[in-house]
Amino acid sequence: MGDHLGKSQHALLNEGDENEMEIFGYRTQGCRKALCLIGSIFSLGMLPLVFYWRPAWRVWANCVPCSLQEADIVLLRTTDEFKIYSWKKVMWISLSALSSTSGLTPDHPLIADEEFIINRAIRKPDLKVRYIKVQKIRYVWNNLEGQFQKIGSLEDCLSSAKIHQKFGLGLTSEEQEIRRLICGPNAIDVEIIPIWKLLVKEVLNPFYIFQLFSVCLWFSEDYKEYALAIILMSVISIALTVYDLRQQSVKLHHLVESHNSITVSVYERKAGAQDLESRLLVPGDLLILTGSRVQMPCDAVLIDGSCVVDEGMLTGESIPVTKTPLSQTASSAPWKMQSEADPRRHILFCGTEVIQAKAAGSGTVRAVVLQTGFNTAKGDLVRSILYPKPMNFKLYRDAIRFLLCLVGTATIGMIYTLCVYVLSGEPPEEVVRKALDVITIAVPPALPAALTTGIIYAQRRLKKKGIFCISPQRINVCGQLNLVCFDKTGTLTRGGLDLWGVVPCDQNGFQAVHSFASGEAVPWGPLCAAMATCHSLILLDGTIQGDPLDLKMFEATQWEMTVSGDDFHNKEMLAHTMVVKPPDTVGQVPAEGLAILHQFPFSSALQRMTVIVQETGGGRMAFMKGAPERVASFCQPDTVPTTFISELQVYTTQGFRVIALAYKKLETDCPTTTLMREKVESDLIFLGLLILENRLKEETRPVLEELISARIRTAMITGDNLQTAITVARKSGMVSEGQKVILVEANEATDSSSASITWKLVEEKKHGLFGSQDTYINIREEVPENGREGNYHFALSGKSFQVISQHFSSLLPKVSFKGRVTFLYEQFVGSSRVFAFSRVLLYFSDAIPQILLDPFSVKLKIFQNMAEKAVFPMAAGLNCIGHFKK
């Protein structure tokens, strides 16, 4: 094997990606192919069967190693621990048809320009493109760089200015045709697998081949009853498996098929706007989005106007998300890196629904197609279903070892039987039959049928209880479950937030709490204006929709929301701009209305959101809302009360969720589109704290107590303040009374000092701060298995976690894996905290099954190695608290 791989050219496919593969070049040789054909005939089909089980052997037998440029066959090997092989045939795309109709020649500007991968893939002068197709994705041969590269998406290296300049006016029809031919159709096609294919794939499983061998042997010994029983079991097992696979294939096909044929408006550089079938879209096309609802057939980056999108298909939460246009800056940096904000706020993802499109002035809402087909976010989701990651449970590894032990025992028994029967003078055919019979006794042929039947029966029992498993094979390992991960808001706590009060602030410090229990509205002022405007709510079909937190905050002001009309004129206002107005029932308010001109949407990475607001006939202001510590860092120091930390801790220790508000006045002569976020979010005036209450569900404590009593570790994932997470953990029973919580703070190395760690004990006093008293803790201390005393909880921020993993990696297993740790994670980057959380799980698990569980819903979703699905890096904002015991 090493000799074969050493002689062929070696490269990486999807380098740095989670689907990274090694790729080797091979060229088919006629004489080798002929020898393999002869071998297949003389082996009665056994050689092709071996080649089916071992794809690499087929390539090595039929081909000779060569460079990737000369290869007609490529051998792929995954870079993970499994080292799985597969092979693909190199195919060709000819542009000769286009050259005759469009007059394309090797010297044509569209062909000669080698700025994009598509152009570099065209071989001159015959105008052909070499490509392979791996897991539904096309990879073309880059003639300039000498490697296969993914096609079907715009290059990540493009700057925002380049995107506006190159694609802002659309593609020409010639460019569209070239890209359409090379990139393929914009469709997520999932074929319904024919029954005969499923049947052949199932029957060719090594276990069923072994069963066939065993049954033939038993019939030769006139052992018909048991042979017939095994045949019956196998047929039922195969039929049930094929039926299940066929049903899944049909469901998946119908799920994605409806979105493959959508009519969209595309702007062509010469012909202008025209309707086009979505299958014909290519990366670089310019989409024109209207105000009506539309399903996105591709991933696209918004370059003009703004959109409100329902991303429920991707995130599971049908909360409208505001998308802002990609600004055209002079920076040459890749557009995804041009600011610290999340680049996904500019992207309209495939499969999501645009429920509202707002044009800038009299213009149109425009978006450039970023990715098509299986390259899109939805396509990647479908590919993860079609090509799941292999499992590596310890149970399966032990099962393989056990099977090998059975094979070893059978081999010894076969040798012993041969010796005994030969010495006894038995006929040769009888000796062979008895020796082979020993194998069928040691290795039970009914094993696969029994396992399949057991899984199907268990799946149906779970289904009756309202539990649906997305991977039935994982049911066998559920008995070894030792970690359950919970979301906090809506899972451990109730779904909605109740507005408890607001703490105003002025130059004299924090004022008395304004409680909302009395039903009185917040008095007019910057604080009231911030609550009325600093949100991402929209008015849809006469109903205000958006994030529940934003909705509660806005309702507390008792203001009304409308869409801009003739009575509110501003040249910078987009069509359908949100305008908030005070009702007549509210006291004297000098402002007739406030128009939300521009939004800098909330980002988990930035932990804040900002809006630019125009007062009717008045000035312009900016309002910020976000994590208290983060908002305070953008404010003028003299406006932040000296008691800020202690006041914040008063509420977080009681389990409240705290949001800070700030504002500043802006100049009216500067267009909002030219204002940079960094300039707007500076020298703010601190306004106060918004206090929200999130109560525990009644079912929370009993569920957690049951898991803890079963010695199953529990983890809570939350985006709240760390102190709030600690309080909820105590109230829910995840951290029991009397147990201590230790704050671990790790600092990066500087020029004058090395990396360091400090440990602080978090006091349990109602209004207490972190303890400063020295405390000695022996983490090696022996603790009785049935005792709870002596248990410690460790709380650390994401920044501290990164420092520890980089500079004190030996400390991680001591306080986590060996200590059976329970973690609570806070403030994740990315729309999915679970994916970020899975990165951390790599440090605390050894290929164990993890569960993402909502115990109060009807669905149970089981994930193994969630880290394999992680797409977002763990960020410095991540915080966690852990539970340690022997």
Please give the angle made by the CA atoms of 382, 388 and 390, to the nearest 5 degrees: 170
Please name the residues in contact with 680: beta carbons below 8 A apart, sequence gap of 6 or more: 600, 610, 612, 622, 664, 666
Tell me the residue type at 245.
Answer: L
Dmax over Cα atoms in the chain, in whole Å? 114
What is the residue-wise DSSP string for 351-401? T-EEEEEE-STTS-EEEEEEE-GGGSHHHHHHHHHHSPPPP--HHHHHHHH
Has 487 been annotated as catalytic?
yes
Pairing mode, strands 822-826 and 713-718 = parallel
Residue among 285, 310, 342, 487 flagged as catalytic: 487
Pairing mode, strands 620-626 and 608-615 = antiparallel
* Nearest CA-CA partner of 446 in 224, 203, 208, 216: 208
Q: What are phi and psi of 282, to 5 degrees?
A: -135, 155
Rounded to whole angstroms, the Cα distance separating 503 from 688 reads 5
Contact 623, 534 (CB under 8 A): yes
CA distances in angstroms from 73 to 23, 56, 161, listed in the order given: 10, 11, 40
In whole angstroms, how large is the CA radius of gyration of the chain? 32
Give the start-end residues of each E strand in 639-753: 657-666, 685-693, 713-718, 740-747
Please, how many CA atoms are within 13 Å of residue 298, restricted to the half-sphere of its CB? 34
**DSSP assignment, residue 826?**
E
Please name the residues in contact with 594: beta carbons below 8 A apart, sequence gap of 6 or more: 529, 532, 533, 579, 580, 581, 613, 614, 615, 616
Q: Helix count (H) and strand count (E) of the chain?
A: 27, 40
**Residue 118 corresponds to which tokens in the numbers above?**
């598509």
Pairing mode, strands 713-718 and 483-487 = parallel
* Nearest CA-CA partner of 233 in 524, 408, 453, 481: 453
Check the CA dihedral 244-246-251-253 and report its sign: positive
Cβ atoms within 10 Å, residue 29: 14
* Nearest CA-CA partner of 831 in 861, 864, 872: 872
Q: Give SS3 for 367.
A: strand
**Residue 714 corresponds to which tokens in the numbers above?**
């529990």
Q: What are phi and psi of 130, to 5 degrees?
A: -90, 140
Rounded to whole angstroms, the Cα distance separating 534 from 522 reads 15
Please give the angle made by the CA atoms of 16, 167 and 271, to the nearest 5 degrees: 140
Q: Give the active site residues.
A: 487
